[in-house]
Amino acid sequence: MLERMQGLPNNVLGFKAVGKVTGADYESVLIPAVDEMFERRTNIRFLYQLGDEFTGFDAKAMWDDAKVGLQHFSSWERVAVVTDVGWIRTALKAFGFAMPGHVRVFSNSELEVARQWLNE
């Protein structure tokens, strides 16, 4: 499940993953919010927390994640991923450089640091 984070600046869109994240979560929660944000802005900053309650993605969610990222490829100004999941941290460190914006990985204990970085 994806929960939209509240209390973020107007140029920051944030979500917290809880349990298993499915393609239906992307299609009903994340994609509409991203599309709405891009109707108002040309660049956005994105906060994605995969906390202790996160248990994984289904295949459709992983595909939808890639599609959203590529659809707005040059419009991600900053992306902060907050997680302690090893394979996600490794993948982002290995491939984050390929995104035009700035991508940083933070541990769950650094959620507030990630929020501050997005606001700089």
The encoded tokens of residue 2 equal: 């994806």
pLDDT tens digits, one per residue of 19-66:
999 999 999 999 999 999 999 999 999 999 999 999 999 999 988 888
* pLDDT tens per residue, range 54-94: 999 999 998 888 888 777 777 889 999 999 999 999 988 88
Closest CA to 112 of 77, 79, 78, 82: 82
Distance CA 71, CA 2 (A): 20
pLDDT tens for residues 92-113? Answer: 888 766 666 788 999 999 999 9
What was the pLDDT predicted at 57?
Answer: 93
In the chain, what is the straight-line distance between the N-terminal and C-terminal CA atoms, in Å? 29
2-119 belongs to which CATH class?
alpha beta
Q: What is the pTM for the complete model shown?
A: 0.90
Distance of CA 101 to the CA centre of its chain: 13
